[in-house]
Structure 1
Amino acid sequence: MLQGKKLVQSMFARRGYRIVRSESDVRYRPVAADARNSASLLHEILPVVQHNALTGEWPTPEFLENYFDADRLAMARLLLDQCDAEDVEIAGKRVLDIGCHAGCLLRLMHARYKETSLFGCDISDVKLAMAKRACPDAELFFSALSDLPRSSRYDVVFLMEVLEHTVDPEAVVRRLLDIVSATGTLILTVPDGRRDQFPAKEYHAEFDSYAGHINFWSPESWHYFLARIAPEWKLRTGTLSTGHLFAALSMKNKAN
């Protein structure tokens, strides 16, 4: 058997190929802190939608319990860990979370970074009501991506898991760079397109986006996509241990 394996390896080697062991797709396992963060968040936001349990109106408590599980909170925590590793300054800065949903990222930032001015926006009054309970100190407002006030500038802008829904993700990134301060940073995450199989579903003309996913980036194409859009920006890309693709863009002349 061993000689047969060596013979096969030798045959492929003569043609310039090498046989390697394929690593299994190991899913990241949340830690106890992620479960505690999930339970704490749900305790705050579920009262907002408790009546939906009877009417079936979206979002139902059951949906939120499944959505904001330990895996979701682990992803948000690891994103902040990545920001710390990339020396993204958050403490004491003006920080905007676009599409803040129920405020899980805002809540984690409030606990981790002191003296930070937190802002969040979304296109759902229900989500904003939940976010207000999750992070009472954050300043929240209703806004679509296209309606973000150009007069406002933020030191750190987060857009998590949104670009995969949008019809024109390039225009969205350019729009977001307009509201980042001269020494600020834009933080983006998207699913890994090699694993993402979420269908497009219905189209929302008002927001020029789909309920599901229509854009799929590999780790390599993710980097090239952003480098082409913002060649004058310092670009750092990577993959979180949950499998989500990460990017941080800051001006190249940003002071160290």
Structure 2
Amino acid sequence: MNAIKKLAKKALAMFGIGIYRLESSQPLTAVAQGFIITSPIEANTEESDDKYYSDPEIVKAYLEPERLEFYEYVVNFLHENGVDFNGKTVADLGCGTGHLLLNIHKKFTPKSLTGMDHSKFGLDVGRSILPNATFQYFDIYQKYDFQFEVIFCTEVLEHLLYPEQALKNMITIISTCGVMLLTVPNGRTDTFLGHINFWSPESWDVFVKSVCNDLDIELEINTGLTTKNSNFAILKRNN
């Protein structure tokens, strides 16, 4: 095998082409609000998120103005697309600290607000800022019997090993005539090491529609790119 490699290198060298092996001197790392990430797999476990949300300084840095503005943006985005939150049961799947729900609470009068996440420390933060809402543990890969009329799942699927399974489960939680808003980063520009999945606007459209088509649920599907450079999908359930 080595002899073949040498012959190949010599042949390519005649045309001025060289073959080189590049090695990284150190592993890739990323820092999110002071939290060091070396592996997207390890960074997205329940244990890792508990460690993240249990640190007050990290949570303070996490709740930067840009993030809070994004929560306000997606709430307004869904409202501008014809969704009324007043008198509705509203849930945020992968709610983190609950600040998206807090934004809804300040502007509308929903029947109920429910935040779900797999981090008990993130849920504790949510309870502290929005005591009138319900915050409960949620395994996105498990099936549940409850349903909601309005569901948010923002910037979550890019963190998952099995996003197709998660999306199928979440769709069943949409009540009849209910709606769900999904957002993920634009994979053409997203380079964050803490993300596992990277969808372009085109592949996002294919992914969402292929998952929806596998289910015996009638859905209206609208996908696109927000002005915040996030892929979105609005799923309206008809049955």
Tell me, yes or no, whether TM beats 0.5. Answer: yes
Residue 242 of structure 1 deviates from its aligned partner by 2.0
Cα deviation, 1:155-203, whole Å, max 9, x if unaligned, reads 012111111111221111111111110110121111110111112xxxx
2:141 is paired with a residue of what secondary structure? Answer: helix
Match of 1:173 in 2: 167
CA contact (8 A) 1:165 1:213 kept: yes
The reply on whether 1:197 has 2:183 as its aligned counterpart is no
Q: Normalising by the residue count of structure 2, what TM-score does the alignment of the two structures yield?
A: 0.72
The reply on whether 1:64 has 2:49 as its aligned counterpart is no
Q: Which runs of 5+ in 2 are unaligned?
A: 1-50
The reply on whether 1:99 has 2:94 as its aligned counterpart is yes
The reply on whether 1:224 has 2:206 as its aligned counterpart is yes
CA contact (8 A) 1:79 1:240 kept: no
Q: Distance in 1 between matches of 2:207 and 2:110?
A: 34
Match of 1:162 in 2: 156
Cα deviation, 1:7-55, whole Å, max 9, x if unaligned, reads xxxxxxxxxxxxxxxxxxxxxxxxxxxxxxxxxxxxxxxxxxxxxxxxx
Residue 58 of structure 1 deviates from its aligned partner by 5.6
Code of the aligned partner of 2:139: A
The reply on whether 1:246 has 2:232 as its aligned counterpart is yes
Code of the aligned partner of 2:192: F
Relative to structure 1, the CA distance from residue 63 to residue 235 in structure 2 (aligned partners, 3 Å threshold; closer, same or farther) is same
Residue 240 of structure 1 deviates from its aligned partner by 2.5
Residue 61 of structure 1 deviates from its aligned partner by 2.9
Q: Which runs of 5+ in 1 are unaligned?
A: 1-55, 200-211
CA contact (8 A) 1:78 1:240 kept: no
RMSD between superposed Cα atoms in Å: 1.9
Residue 239 of structure 1 deviates from its aligned partner by 2.3
Q: Distance in 2 between matches of 1:66 and 1:148?
A: 33
Cα deviation, 1:127-169, whole Å, max 9, x if unaligned, reads 11110111111111112112352x2111012111111111221
Match of 1:237 in 2: 223
CA contact (8 A) 1:160 1:188 kept: yes
After superposing on structure 2, the runs of 4+ consecutive aligned residues of structure 1 that deviate more than 3 Å are 56-59
